[in-house]
Structure 1
Amino acid sequence: MGHRTALINQIRGLLHEYGLIIPKGAEHVRRFLGALEPNSDHGLTARMVDTFQNLREELEHLDSRLAKYDSEILSISQEHQACRRLKTHPGIGPLIATAVVAAVGDVKVFRNGREMAAWLGLVPRQHSTGGKPRLLGISKRGDVYIRTLLIHGARSVLRRAHLKDDCRSRWLVKLGQRRGTNIAAVALANRTVRSIWAMLSKDEDYRVEVVS
């Protein structure tokens, strides 16, 4: 995924050097490259057109590989009971489900969900000033990849929260307004990990939370 993003940014940067501004979004880059022909009215030399066509082929190759990996991950998530269970939780798709199950194995190695969240670096650090504890940013311990996936998944849920009217969504909207999107996303990721622990340790599918 990172390689593809870097390639798209490289293509966009090269086009910018030739005065060709492409709107944000990978699909705009793909659409431009797909329509690029030597005789098009774009001001590019034949050599540059050939270069961009080679870059387009490389991008298509990466798209094909990633699509294959996505398909394999989806199949694994459908075959594994724990993954199927996790996918009933909002914000958890095949990628997060398979990554968590592969990395954690038996969640009962943790005493509770908070301990699992701490293992993933999703709990606040504490610092004492004048005898009073102060909460700092998250500890960022543990598996960076899974923590990043969980926060991205939380952001996705947050973006749609204002479209819903359940207790959990209203809580998320208020939290985002009060503390900001980043803190709200981390708080939701932390809550998600606790739910993951409860679901897998008790062999239960997701149940809608009652949030005050």
Structure 2
Amino acid sequence: MKHYVGLDVSVKETSVCIVDETGRICRDRKVVTHPDDLIALLRDTQWHFERIGLEAGPLSQWLYEGLARAGFPVICIETRHAKAFLKAQPNKTDRNDAGGIAQMMRVHLFRPVHVKTLTSQKRRALLTARMLLQGKAIAIENDIRGLLRNFGLKVGMVGAVKYEERICELVEGVSDLAEIVEPLLAARRKLREEFARLDHKARTEAKIDPVCRRLMTVPGVGPIVSLAYMATIDIPARFRTSRGVGAVLGLTPIVKQSGESNRIGRVSLCGDGMLRSYLYEAAQTLLTRVTKWSWLRAWAMNVAKRRGAQKAIIALARRLAVILHRVWSDGSEFRWTREASTAIAA
């Protein structure tokens, strides 16, 4: 008889529910959230597991890798689908959620989620840490601006390099303010130093990677965008067509249809927000800063004339996602002329 398992993961403990092919609960218990403890519970000759399901979450990649390495048929499922299924239960408990996931595995009512490779996970961690340091540094800079504005001291337009010099110039002669601002400047200085270190590491890794170098042949795409694209997409072959990448990244409009009503709304904003923001910045750079002519820029300019600059940038971001996937899959480089780019046009 076949058996199916549902895992409801929390930080300390994981609820495990095993059901047979008729839906009868065979085992229901909690274990410590660790791959070894789960393997010890599931490794029993009386079970013949068909599918083992767990929701996508912070610990899912770690648990998935441990169970898959042990030879179990583990599947990571999409969180929104699991939430919609489990919402039908009147009482939400860890035990009920594990049982619900087990039933989802039994009736095959789930959508699997791709679990990234270890290399992509490390690259993602690097980019996340880089963005975190940059965001904290900018937040401190804005807070200093607000503090000084209360005393009529306006920082004005100044870059990151000369920011500290400008602040010291404003508080010169005001000892009380200088004592308050100095710790903030020291924290901001340390954040900027560590950000520069991680930024250099990310850019160096992108420049030595052959796939990243090919992706950077697309106008507007730099080392950070190419590295983020590789870390997010991970395996290009998991997409049947390049057009599917735009929808996965939340760059396609939402369609709401009911009877005679058919409304097309804004972009869905589903998927990876970091890569979506990077693609938006790349599209904005291509449309406003890149001066070299290309068929892609000409296409975006025509869209801007018809629909406006904002919609043109979003459409260009989606098309960049499609082109980058095709360049990666084909092992080719970006073609600047329209005739040569027919093979990779979206």
TM-score of the aligned structures, taking structure 2 as reference length = 0.55
Q: Which residue of 2 aligns with 1:23?
A: 156
The answer (yes or no) to whether the contact 2:280–2:317 under 8 Å persists in 1 is: yes
* In structure 2, C-alpha distance between the alignment counterparts of 1:75 and 1:166, rounded to whole Å: 27
| Alpha-carbon distance in structure 2 between the residues aligned to 1:99 and 1:166 | 24
Residue deviations 1:178-197 (CA, integer Å, cap 9, x gap): 32222111101100011011
- Out of 54-63 and 66-75, give the one that drifted further: 54-63
2:203 corresponds to which of 62, 69, 74: 74
Give distance in 1, aligned partners of 2:295 and 2:221: 19
Maintained 8 Å contact 2:254/2:264: yes
- Of stretches 127-136 and 191-200 in structure 1, the one that deviates more from structure 2 is 127-136
Quickly say closer, same or farther: Cα 1:19–1:177, change in 2 above 3 A: farther
- What SS does structure 1 have at the residue aligned with 2:271? coil
Q: How many residues align?
A: 205
Question: Which residue number in structure 2 is paired with residue 202 of structure 1?
Answer: 330
- C-alpha separation in 1, matches of 2:197 and 2:156: 27
| Structure with more contact order per residue of length (Cα contacts < 8 Å, sep ≥ 6) | 1
Give the number of the structure whose residues are more often strand, by fraction.
2
Stretch deviating more after TM superposition (75-84 or 189-198): 75-84
Look up the equivalent residue of 2:154 and give its one-letter code.
Answer: I
Q: Is the 8 A contact 1:12 1:29 kept in 2?
A: no
Distance 2:336 2:247 in 1: 23
- SS of the aligned residue for 1:136 comes to strand
1:127 match: secondary structure? strand
Q: What is the root-mean-square deviation of aligned Cα atoms in Å?
A: 2.1
Partner of residue 121, structure 1: 250
Give the secondary-structure state (helix, strand or coil) at the position aligned to 2:202: helix
Aligned partners of 2:171 and 2:259: how far apart in 1? 68
TM-score (norm 1): 0.87
My pick for the range that moved more, 144-153 or 177-186, is 177-186
Cα separation, partners in 2 of 1:122 and 1:68, compared to 1, 3 Å: same
CA distance in 2, matches of 1:190, 1:93: 16
More helix by share: 1
User: What is residue 50 of structure 1 aligned with on the other side?
Assistant: 179
Change (3 A) 1:165 1:104: closer
Cα 1:207–1:34, aligned 2, differ >3 Å: closer, same or farther?
Answer: farther
Q: Which has the larger radius of gyration?
A: 2
Structure 2 distance, partners of 1:164, 1:81, is 24
Show structure 1 runs of 5+ residues with no match.
none
SS in 2 for 1:113: coil
Per the alignment, residue 33 of structure 1 pairs with: 167
